[in-house]
């Protein structure tokens, strides 16, 4: 089943955020843009490079009204231990959700059942709780936070400019397209 434009499913989980354990639910994310950034496990290799990359751009995500939620099948206790042990992970200011029951990873269809780990899944969710961007990577392929930021800005632009679309490599402030019969075969 295609996941784009579907609503996120109900969930409740504990997260490590700014030195505290907090509860995050599907209702928590309603009313604002959100990113669910799934990764396989704490204390690994590619994961800290990705999470650190997102942490570096987190202020820019916040400036455009986006909250980031890192999610792995580890517990929130493990997230705290990793935060305390790693200079890269100490930079993280966004919530790190623990999903030890695998419910959230299953909801987003990124769970590797045989291993109990999540694939590298990235989902951009609009304020209504609908998934607008979905990207899933194999475990060995890291993601780029700058490209994610570009995609979020494109999703926000399209949401606020009905009748316009963002072409390939579109960046904020660049020209968009207004699909019409006049453009067919001319691009």
Which residue numbers are catalytic? 47
- The long-range contacts involving 103-106, CB below 8 angstroms and separated by at least 24 positions, are 103/11, 103/13, 104/11, 104/13, 104/36, 104/71, 105/38, 105/71, 105/73
3-state secondary structure at position 36 = strand
Sheet of strand 96-98: strand arrangement = 20-25, 12-17, 96-98, 66-72, 33-38, 120-125, 131-137
Longest dimension (CA), the chain: 58
CA atoms of 131 and 108, how far apart (whole Å): 10
Chain position carrying tokens 């790693």: 86
CA atoms of 6 and 4, how far apart (whole Å): 6
């Amino acid at each position: 089943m295609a996941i784009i434009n579907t609503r996120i499913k109900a969930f409740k989980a504990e997260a490590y955020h700014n030195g505290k354990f907090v509860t995050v639910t599907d209702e928590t994310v309603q009313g604002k843009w959100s990113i669910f950034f799934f990764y396989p496990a704490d204390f690994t290799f590619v994961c800290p490079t990705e999470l650190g990359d997102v942490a570096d751009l987190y202020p820019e995500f916040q400036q455009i009204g986006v909250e980031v939620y890192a999610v792995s099948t580890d517990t929130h206790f493990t997230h705290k231990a990793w935060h305390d042990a790693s200079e890269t992970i100490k930079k993280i200011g966004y919530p790190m959700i623990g999903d030890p029951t695998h419910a959230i990873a299953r909801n987003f269809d990124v769970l590797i059942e045989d291993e109990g780990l999540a694939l590298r899944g990235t989902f951009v969710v609009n304020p209504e709780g609908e998934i607008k961007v979905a990207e899933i990577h194999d475990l060995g392929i890291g993601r780029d936070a700058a490209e994610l930021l570009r995609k979020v800005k494109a999703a926000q632009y399209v949401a606020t400019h009905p009748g316009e679309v963002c072409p390939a490599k579109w960046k904020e402030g660049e020209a968009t397209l207004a699909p019409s019969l006049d453009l067919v075969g001319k691009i």
